[in-house]
Amino acid sequence: MKLLKQAVFLALILVLQLQGQNKYIESITDFSIGEKAYLFGDNVKLRAAPNTSSNVITLLKIATEVKILEKSTNTQLYNGKEWAWYKISSNATIGYVLGGLIALDKKIINNSTYLVSIKKVSVDETNEKTYAITRVVNQNKDGYLENISMLDTSVFSLEVYDNKGLDSIENMAYISYMAEACGVNGGGYYLFNDGKSLNKAIDVSSIGDGGVYWLSEQVIFPNDIKGKKGKILFRSEEGEVVDEETQHEKIKIESIEFVWEGKLLHIKTDKSRI
Q: What is the CATH number for 98?
A: 2.30.30.40
Distances (CA, A) of 87 to 47, 96, 115, 273: 9, 4, 20, 47
* Structure confidence at residue 274 as a pLDDT band (50, 70, 90): very low
| Mean pLDDT confidence for 33-61 | 97
* Structure confidence at residue 102 as a pLDDT band (50, 70, 90): very high
* Distance between CA atoms of residues 138 and 39, nearest Å: 15
- Out of 103, 130, 158, a domain closes at 103
Are both 47 and 110 inside the same structural domain? Answer: no
- Degrees (nearest 5) of the Cα angle 14, 201, 80? 70
Are both 145 and 226 inside the same structural domain? Answer: yes
Are both 235 and 157 inside the same structural domain? Answer: yes
User: What pLDDT is recorded for position 103?
Assistant: 97
Residue 5 clears pLDDT 70, i.e. is over it: no
Are both 135 and 248 inside the same structural domain? Answer: yes
Domains identified in the chain, total number: 2
Lowest pLDDT segment from 87-91, 131-135, 138-142 = 138-142
Full-model pTM: 0.86
Are both 223 and 159 inside the same structural domain? Answer: yes
* Structure confidence at residue 181 as a pLDDT band (50, 70, 90): low
Are both 169 and 135 inside the same structural domain? Answer: yes
Answer with the residue of higher pLDDT: 183 or 111: 111
pLDDT > 70 in the chain, percent: 84
pLDDT > 90 in the chain, percent: 60
User: What pLDDT is recorded for position 66?
Assistant: 97
Are both 20 and 135 inside the same structural domain? Answer: yes
- Out of 80, 103, 126, a domain closes at 103
Are both 96 and 111 inside the same structural domain? Answer: no
Please provide the distance, in angstroms rounded to a whole number, between the alpha carbons at the two ends of the chain: 21
Give me the phi and psi of 211, to 5 degrees please: 80, 5
- Out of 56, 75, 103, a domain closes at 103
Residue 11 clears pLDDT 60, i.e. is over it: no
User: What pLDDT is recorded for position 183?
Assistant: 65
User: What pLDDT is recorded for position 233?
Assistant: 94
Residue 210 clears pLDDT 80, i.e. is over it: no
Determine the structural domain holding residue 44 and report its residue range: 32-103
Are both 86 and 208 inside the same structural domain? Answer: no
| Mean pLDDT confidence for 104-111 | 96
Are both 77 and 144 inside the same structural domain? Answer: no
User: What pLDDT is recorded for position 56?
Assistant: 98
Are both 88 and 200 inside the same structural domain? Answer: no
| Mean pLDDT confidence for 156-171 | 95
Are both 171 and 254 inside the same structural domain? Answer: yes
* Distance between CA atoms of residues 81 and 129, nearest Å: 11
Among candidate residues 156, 154, 136, the one with its CA nearest the CA of residue 145: 136
